[in-house]
Each structure stands twice: as structure tokens, then as C-alpha cells.
Structure 1
């Protein structure tokens, strides 16, 4: 059974139980998720109904070794919608920082800083190799080095993020990261 919650606000990130009962059209529209809404609801239902063994995943995670990472990555690969980018993000949230999830935002970041910092003209085809070359010296904390650099860039663009109102979080998107000369930023800097 699905519920729409059309007039109830969703304030905090909902639990799997709360997500599992939502209608995918409601979630897609309310959160701007498009086709991913159905995957999120299915993932939540699989967690709630025990088809995804969360305790087992957490137990494997406790080792924190590269072999644990590989085992977890293999288990996550079996979940619908968990491609390389999603797996790397989930595993980063589980404490594995040696793999940088790469996508078009990573390419944008490397290109924007290429003249000043990295001298890389990355593409979606070369970005994984490029981040390995740039951030490899920080092993096993490559993601943390990348994230610190990205966070610094965001704060240069938008001001101190800790002072940004929650309502402006949506502004930190790739479309607002284009070179300043090519597009006006939708929000003024926070001092």
C-alpha cells in the first residue's frame, strides 16, 4: 500500500520504512528524483523486507580493509541501480576513502581548476585515471583530499557553507559551477 502524504512535509531524511510506503510519482515530484524515485522506493522495500542484509554489510564494513571494500562492492553491485558511482559513494559513507566517485561534476571540477592546479583536461572517459594520478599520493584518503578541495572551491563560489541557509543548498549544483564569466550565480556570497 502506498501513501501520498501530499499535505505533510518531509522534514528530515526519511527512514527506509517511511520511504517504502511512498508512491514513486509523489517522491519523484516532491524531491525532483525522476526515474530514481522508483529505485529508491524499491531499495527501501528491499531493506525493510530483509532482502538486503544490512547487518551483514555493516559487519563486513567493520574490518575497514581493502579486501572488505572489494567484498562490499561486490555485494552492492547486486543491488539494482548501484553502479560504480553509487557504490563508491556508499562505500565512502561507510569509511572507505581510497576511491573517488567520478561523474560529470568531477570532470567539471578538474577542468575548472586545470589551469591553476591540476593541468588536466579531463573527460568522462579519462576522469577515473586523472583522479587516480592527482589524488593517489593521499592514499588511502584520496576521497577526503578531493572533497576538501571541492569544498574549498564551493566556499570560494558561495561563501561559508556553514552559514548558508538550508533553503539555498539546492544551489550547489553543477549548473551553478560554470565559470563565473559565462553565467551569473543565482545567490550572493555569504560573508
Structure 2
């Protein structure tokens, strides 16, 4: 049920991809979000004390307008996933449907995802016991691709800084957000971590000068790759929607790897975001995970879902003498 004014809540997923409630599924919001490092990247903000995921989303009726959305689940076995929007203005049914589709994509809530995770848990009982299986991703594929590019040839702290810089830069494109509800004013934590912009769209980046972006966001050679990607989408040579709908994995891999700056690691990582798990993206950090590094992280830092965002840059070997990851 969706309440169309003020804050609205999802009491059951009833879109084309998933029907029914969450009670009989494997879904747990905290585990779905915090079992993958992308949740630490701007503009995502995971509140470890309240177990709420917050971030800006775009309106489908006006992509320049962003709204802050709060996503939460009252308990791990609750059949209700709540999505609250900070606005007192009504949202059209089209905007509501598009917003829920973005949330479902991020959290992998669909019948297909449920089948795949159930099959995975049948094979790997340990993954089932810890609730591991969903790979947290972005509301759209373009954001996933750019974030994968920003993982390359640098430490985790540098990746986080570059992503944050892009979100700060995006504010120059956006309109004033919708009026916020007086009933839910942002607290100090919200203000600190949500005052940046949304992640830029390909439409926004396609018009940006490469050298300006390099200087503005300190992206180095990655700026060339990102602008090239955006311009290919604008020119029609790449259609990300078709890739996700048709699942043309081989075709997408070939087109991505033709772009200077995108190699096997990035293309494999991107393909996992749309459901191709035949080639697992592996780098030196992946190998560290395979050798129980995730357990080490939690022994060293505690449960990752309880970390303060200020500590995210410390997670991975980026603060050790191994510094940079090789790809």
C-alpha cells in the first residue's frame, strides 16, 4: 500500500517484479545493504543506530529534481519494508512507481532475485546462516558502472573521496529539492551526510569538459573514461536499459571493454550487477576476502553495519602498507 501524500510506506510489494510480502522471503534490510561495500559510497548513508538507509532519488517526471528517501524495516523478520519520502507535496503514481523500482533494484527485491538467492543458500549453508547473498547496488546501472571504474588502481579511501566529490559536483545541476515535511526535519547526522548532491546522471556528465572534471573531482584518468561512457550513451552507441532488460552479457562486456580505461575487472564487476555471475570480478582485495579477510574486518572494526561513516575509509587494506590494489 502506498500513501500518496506526506510520507508514504510500502506495506507490500505489488509491482510487476515482485508480489506478496517480505515475510516468506530471505530479505533482511541490514544484511542486504551492509554485506557489500557499495553501501559506504555517497550518496548512500546507512545510519547504524537506527538501521535506516537514506539517499537522494530522482523524480521520473523531472530528473533534475531530487528527493531524500528513508528506507527501513522495523525488525529483521518484519513483512513490511518502509519507504519514506521527505516532502509534503503529492507524488504522481508514475513517480511513485519509478521510485519503488529504483529501491527494488538497489535491494534486489524481485521474484528472480529471490529464486537465485534461495538456490545459492541451498548450496552454501554458511551464506544462508549469515544472510549473505544479495549484492547491494545503485538505483541505476550508470551509477554502478562509474563506481566500478572508481575502484581501480587506488585505495578504498581514495575511491570514497572521488565518489563523494562527484556527488558534491552534481549539486550544480540539480533543482531545489521538494519541500521537506516539518514532521521529519533532518537531524545533525542527516545534515552532515546528506547535504551533498545525488550521483550525477550520464546526461549531466556528457556535457562536462574532461579536464574540468579531472580538476574538480580529482579523478585522474578516470574522468576520460567516465565522460567517454556518458557520451556513448548520449549518442546511442550504448543503451544500458537494453542491456538490463535483454541480459545481453557478452554484448555488454565487449562494448564496455572497448572503452579505454575499462578492463576485465570493471566489466566483470558491472556484469555481476545485472545478474551474470559466470566470471567473478577478482583483484587482490577479492583474494583477501576469500582468505577470511571479511572476518578479520569484523574482528578489527566490529560489525560493519554498525560503523560510523567516518570510519569507512579504514575498511580494507588501503590503510596498510599494501596501499593500492592491483588490477
Aligned counterpart, 1:91:
271
CA deviation string 1:85-124 (max 9, x = no partner) = 01100001112223221223234445xx3xxxxxxxxxxx
Aligned counterpart, 1:13:
199
Unaligned runs of 5+ residues in structure 1 are 62-67, 114-148, 184-191
Q: 1:72 to 1:24 in 2, by over 3 A?
A: closer
Pair 1:58 & 2:244 matched: yes
The CA deviation at 1:158 is 2.5
Pair 1:34 & 2:220 matched: yes
Cα RMSD for the two superposed structures: 3.4
Aligned counterpart, 2:283:
103
Aligned counterpart, 1:162:
305
Aligned counterpart, 2:20:
none
The CA deviation at 1:27 is 3.3
The CA deviation at 1:31 is 4.0
CA deviation string 1:136-187 (max 9, x = no partner) = xxxxxxxxxxxxx6544433332222232334333334322569xxx9xxxx
Pair 1:69 & 2:241 matched: no
Unaligned runs of 5+ residues in structure 2 are 1-168, 173-194
Matches within 5 A, 1:172-191: 172-176=315-319
Does the Cα contact within 8 Å between 1:69 and 1:91 map onto a contact in 2? Answer: yes
Q: Please give the TM-score of this superposition, normalised by the length of structure 2.
A: 0.34
CA deviation string 1:8-59 (max 9, x = no partner) = 5853221111222333344334544211111111211221232212233123
Does the Cα contact within 8 Å between 1:73 and 1:91 map onto a contact in 2? Answer: yes
Q: Please give the TM-score of this superposition, normalised by the length of structure 1.
A: 0.54
Residues of 1 paired with 2:287 and 2:256: CA distance?
25
Residues of 2 paired with 1:40 and 1:30: CA distance?
14
Residues of 2 paired with 1:77 and 1:172: CA distance?
29
CA deviation string 1:52-88 (max 9, x = no partner) = 1223312321xxxxxx433432333333322110110
Q: 1:54 to 1:91 in 2, by over 3 A?
A: same
